[in-house]
Amino acid sequence: MVAALAEDTKGRASALLQAKVRAVSITFASKLPIVGTYIATRCATEPPSLIKSTTGNNVTLPGDVIATSTVTSLAEDTKDRASALVQANVRAVSITFISNLPIVGPYIATRYATEPPSITEATPLLGVLRDPKGFATQQAEGILRRLLAPLLDRLPDVDALDNKSADHGLLFKTLVECYVLAKDGGGWLFTHVQEHSLLIAPTVSLGHLSTNDLAASTIGTAVASVTGYSVIQGFISALDKLLATAPNRRVARMWCARAALITGIALVPITNLWTVQSAALLSKLDQTPAVAAAASQYLTVAAAGMPGYAMGEIAKRYLTSQGLSNVHTCILSATAPLNMLLNYLLVDGPIPALRLGFAGAPLSTALSHNAIAGMMVVYIVQRAVHEKADYVLGHHHAVDEEAISVNGESNSGSPTSAIDSPGSSQYQSVMSFFDGMGELASAGISGVLKSASQLWSKDLGGHILRLGPNALATQAVLLATATTLYQAPKAISSASSDRMKKWVTKGDVQRAKIAACVAFVGTLGGVIVIRNILIASASSWGALFNNDLVIVQSVSTVLPTIAIYQAVHGLGAWVDASLAAMGKSTVFPALIASADCFLGIPLGLYLAFSRHWGLVGLWVGLIISLAYSFLVATIVLVTTSWKIAGGQKGTASEGEEDQVSR
């Protein structure tokens, strides 16, 4: 009798619990849009019917009473355990926070910290209550894995394709290169667009304020490019080669410290020019007082972001040399939307207290540069601290030992004796630091010349500042258009350059040529699409940046010329990437610099001012210099032996590996 009653009680408790869970599930499903009503009507059923007496009243059996009490007891127990778990977690978080307080923190943490009450995860519900964040993360990952599994399973492995392609024909190899170019090019495009958004956002936000504000931003950007950004980029670009050949992280960090010191020294006259001398400088450019004053304000505010910009560029190159380039991409993914939001709020936002007008645009850019630099420096320091802690705990071997080579030379390249006193060792360390400054400075000067030639050509050596407000506003729209649309062929060239370098280094000339041809076809198709878009939307393109009908009409007049410039510029990016893959990375920049200085800029100024072509003449001069550089670079590319280039690349790679091993 007792055993039968126990079995009956267990069965009724299970049925009652299932009925409760079913009712809650159907109630939740009924709230879903569209299908909720159907699910509730289709799946809802009456709860288990109770036994009725002859009079129609429900008959309560002993099993029902025990089952109901069992469910009630389980619910109360779950509630108590959940409350205890929440209290324990709150207590643990509070004690952890208090322990970080100075002086009294450790005492309070030791005095009041106790073990949390033990909880037996007898049911899945208690497991969820113990770690709700982990449970939610696990469930979300499971859902994404199930949804994306069919797609991810169908994506081919690039390494496997490269290994298998040797057994297939030309068509298969071409398809593999197309797939890799589309895959890698998309990632490069995403990164380039995020970086470029920091520069393009002020033009878009200021363009809708007034024509004078847009003209002032053009002047400020041109002066900043010629006198500031080109100098900083040139000095920091010297780190590319030095960090690539650094034998360990200690040497890489020393090169970064030297670059930070040099750029810090260079920032002193740059900041003085922008904040103190800018008003006097801009007053001599035949601009209206209002435009000159606004441009001076732009430079003054933008100067606050130059230290962050320099530090961010140094940190980006250090992380790239350590194989952590994805960190910069992740940080850009966070700061690019932040920059757009700041431009929206600070320039002409809905909150009057935050609305700064014209000064909000350079301030947004400065804050974004400082935010990027801060996050990257915090990441580098945090990573170094964690690696040091792991080494102390014996988790892995150290990677930054101050190793001394057998021949008595330190990692920085300075000779050291085998036995030194602490004082002399410290003195030699300081002297070796400053000895490397000369090498970095000399490499930085050549980098400044290269960077200046690239940036100054866009501003025509500063001669564009002689134009009036309407022409300057139009030029701002045209520059924003040209630089934004250039990100697509730039991404293709970045992806194809890496691919061609791989095959050239391996000595597979056929695959390198296939990658170059695929990149050329992709670039050609891209520039044709961009050209058609610009020509088709020429009449309304300027309205994206400015509402002045004069500016919109002026943009529509010059935009067909920009379409031609964009096509030649895109093809130039392809030939530059191909030459870089063959070890001739300086050919195309040198051609561009010489062509702009001796052909493009003089011809553009002649057509613009002497022949009265206006902005069309300026861009025609740049098109001719680009076309000349592209033709000469193509001749160099065609006449260069891929096999010889592959042998040189292989020898260079072996030399670098030997240096690292030493």
Confidence of residue 408 (pLDDT cuts 50, 70, 90): very low
Residue 407, pLDDT score: 35
How far, in Å, CA of 222 to CA of 620, rounded? Answer: 19
Q: What is the mean pLDDT of residues 417-428?
A: 44
Residue 3 main-chain phi, psi, to 5 deg = -65, -40
Residue 21, pLDDT score: 61
Residue 124, pLDDT score: 47
Residue 632, pLDDT score: 94
Amino acid identity, position 95: I
How far, in Å, CA of 300 to CA of 371, rounded? Answer: 19
How far, in Å, CA of 495 to CA of 186, rounded? Answer: 9
Which token pair is 592? Answer: 């561009």
- pLDDT single digits (tens) 564-603: 999 999 999 999 999 988 888 888 888 988 888 888 888 9
Answer for the pair 376, 364: CB distance below 8 angstroms, yes or no. no
Answer for the pair 491, 192: CB distance below 8 angstroms, yes or no. yes
Mean pLDDT (the chain) is 75
Amino acid identity, position 643: K
Q: For residue 94, what is the enclosing H or E element? A: helix 62-98
Single out the residue of 522, 584, 574 nearest to residue 180, CA to CA.
Answer: 522
How far, in Å, CA of 282 to CA of 293, rounded? Answer: 8
Please state, for a pLDDT cut of 90, what percent of the chain lies above it.
Answer: 21
Radius of gyration in angstroms for the set of CA atoms belonging to the chain, rounded to a whole number: 34
pLDDT above 60 (res 174)? yes
Q: What is the mean pLDDT of residues 429-452?
A: 69
How far, in Å, CA of 230 to CA of 442, rounded? Answer: 16
How far, in Å, CA of 312 to CA of 376, rounded? Answer: 7
In the three-class reduction of DSSP (H, G, I as helix; E, B as strand; rest coil), residue 287 is classed as coil
What pairs with residue 415 in β-bridges? 409
Residue 654, pLDDT score: 43
How far, in Å, CA of 607 to CA of 602, rounded? Answer: 9
Residue 48, pLDDT score: 47
- pLDDT single digits (tens) 320-339: 888 887 888 888 888 888 99
pLDDT above 90 (res 112)? no
> Greater confidence, 470 or 413?
470
In the three-class reduction of DSSP (H, G, I as helix; E, B as strand; rest coil), residue 58 is classed as strand
How far, in Å, CA of 274 to CA of 282, rounded? Answer: 10
How far, in Å, CA of 9 to CA of 66, rounded? Answer: 6
How far, in Å, CA of 518 to CA of 493, rounded? Answer: 11
> Greater confidence, 177 or 436?
177
DSSP state of 228: I
Answer for the pair 239, 255: CB distance below 8 angstroms, yes or no. yes
Highest mean pLDDT out of 97-111, 225-239, 360-374? 360-374
Which stretch of 38-47, 383-392, 473-482 has the lowest confidence by average pLDDT?
38-47
Q: Write b or e for each residue in 239-266: b if 16 or more Cβ atoms lie within 10 A of its Cβ, otherwise e.
A: beebbeebbebbbbbbbbebbbebbeeb
How far, in Å, CA of 67 to CA of 49, rounded? Answer: 15
pLDDT above 70 (res 57)? no
How far, in Å, CA of 484 to CA of 489, rounded? Answer: 10
Residue 278, pLDDT score: 85
Residue 413 main-chain phi, psi, to 5 deg = 95, 0
Confidence of residue 651 (pLDDT cuts 50, 70, 90): very low
Single out the residue of 80, 94, 90, 85 nearest to residue 117, CA to CA.
Answer: 85
Residue 6, pLDDT score: 56
Residue 121, pLDDT score: 42
In the three-class reduction of DSSP (H, G, I as helix; E, B as strand; rest coil), residue 545 is classed as coil
Residue 117, pLDDT score: 44
Sign of CA dihedral 640, 641, 643, 647: negative
Confidence of residue 429 (pLDDT cuts 50, 70, 90): low
Residue 565, pLDDT score: 93
Answer for the pair 414, 402: CB distance below 8 angstroms, yes or no. no
- pLDDT single digits (tens) 185-239: 888 888 888 888 888 888 888 888 888 888 888 888 888 888 888 888 888 888 8
- pLDDT single digits (tens) 538-570: 888 988 888 889 999 999 999 999 999 999 999
| First vs last C-alpha separation in the chain | 86
Which stretch of 161-165, 257-261, 266-270, 585-589 has the lowest confidence by average pLDDT?
161-165
- pLDDT single digits (tens) 8-48: 656 666 666 666 666 656 665 665 555 555 556 665 554 44
Determine the Cα angle at 302 with ends 296 and 304, to 5°: 125
Number of Cβ within a 10 Å radius of residue 587: 20
Confidence of residue 422 (pLDDT cuts 50, 70, 90): very low
In the three-class reduction of DSSP (H, G, I as helix; E, B as strand; rest coil), residue 364 is classed as helix
pLDDT above 90 (res 631)? yes
Answer for the pair 306, 232: CB distance below 8 angstroms, yes or no. yes
Answer for the pair 533, 498: CB distance below 8 angstroms, yes or no. no
- pLDDT single digits (tens) 139-170: 555 665 666 565 555 555 666 666 665 566 78
Residue 323 main-chain phi, psi, to 5 deg = 75, 25
> Greater confidence, 441 or 59?
441
Number of Cβ within a 10 Å radius of residue 233: 22
Highest mean pLDDT out of 23-32, 242-251, 435-444? 242-251
Q: Write b or e for each residue in 557-577: b if 16 or more Cβ atoms lie within 10 A of its Cβ, otherwise e.
A: ebbebbbbbbbbbbbbbbbbb
Determine the Cα angle at 455 with ends 489 and 636, to 5°: 55
Please state, for a pLDDT cut of 70, what percent of the chain lies above it.
Answer: 63
Single out the residue of 441, 422, 391 nearest to residue 264, CA to CA.
Answer: 441
How far, in Å, CA of 413 to CA of 404, rounded? Answer: 10
Confidence of residue 388 (pLDDT cuts 50, 70, 90): confident
Which token pair is 45? Answer: 């059923």
Q: What is the mean pLDDT of residues 299-309?
A: 93
Which stretch of 306-310, 401-405, 483-487, 629-633 has the lowest confidence by average pLDDT?
401-405
Q: How many CA atoms lie within 13 A of 223 on its CB side?
A: 29
> Greater confidence, 444 or 461?
444
